[in-house]
Amino acid sequence: MTVHKEGFPTLLILIAFLGILNFLIGYFLNPIFQIIIGTASVLFFLFILQFFRYPNRKVINLPDAIISAADGTVVVIEETTENEYFKDKRIQVSVFMSALNVHINWMPMGGIIKYYKLHQGLFLLAKNPKSSTENERSSIVVEDQKGRSILFRQVAGIMARRIVARITEGKTLEQGHEFGFIKFGSRVDMFFPL
């Protein structure tokens, strides 16, 4: 297990902030406060560090299957109308990433990227059904060699303030490979044909 490159800037700023805070507390307050704040600082740093863990993962290649684009808990499986790209009825499966999940996103199927768009928006709680259409999000459509297409979205949440998607229209990506990251969690929605 390593640290994802998206975490380095955040972790360096956090180390500097906690270092200065602990220095000032150590200089101005008695040793009891130093121990309490020092312990809390280490625990807080470890909590933030685990958001950026990058596990060793075997790449899955199942051409006739779709894998989850995110690690987490399935919070929605329902028929819905997808209004952005397909403009038809679809099965939506949404996976919520909690603070304890890996926050890297993986290609659910291999193929060519047909569509990519980043939408500005709100930062509602990711479990809220409205977050799929009102929060900041990126929408991606991939089509496999047999002409089958799905749309999937990275959706920012109340804490997630940065969506990273290394996606370019026309590029071919393999199933199971990393395509993005959501800083501090959120959810991924996937829209399948009925």
Catalytic annotation, residues: 186
Q: Which helix (H) or strand (E) holds 40?
A: helix 31-51
**What is the spatial distance between Cα 12 and Cα 136, in angstroms, rounded to a whole number?**
26
The candidate with the shortest Cα–Cα distance to 51, out of 110, 16, 6, is 6
Q: How far is CA 60 from CA 18, 64, 131, 177, in A?
A: 39, 12, 29, 8
Answer for the pair 116, 167: CB distance below 8 angstroms, yes or no.
yes
- The two beta strands, 104-106 and 178-183, are antiparallel
Say how far apart CA 121 and CA 185 lie, in whole Å: 16
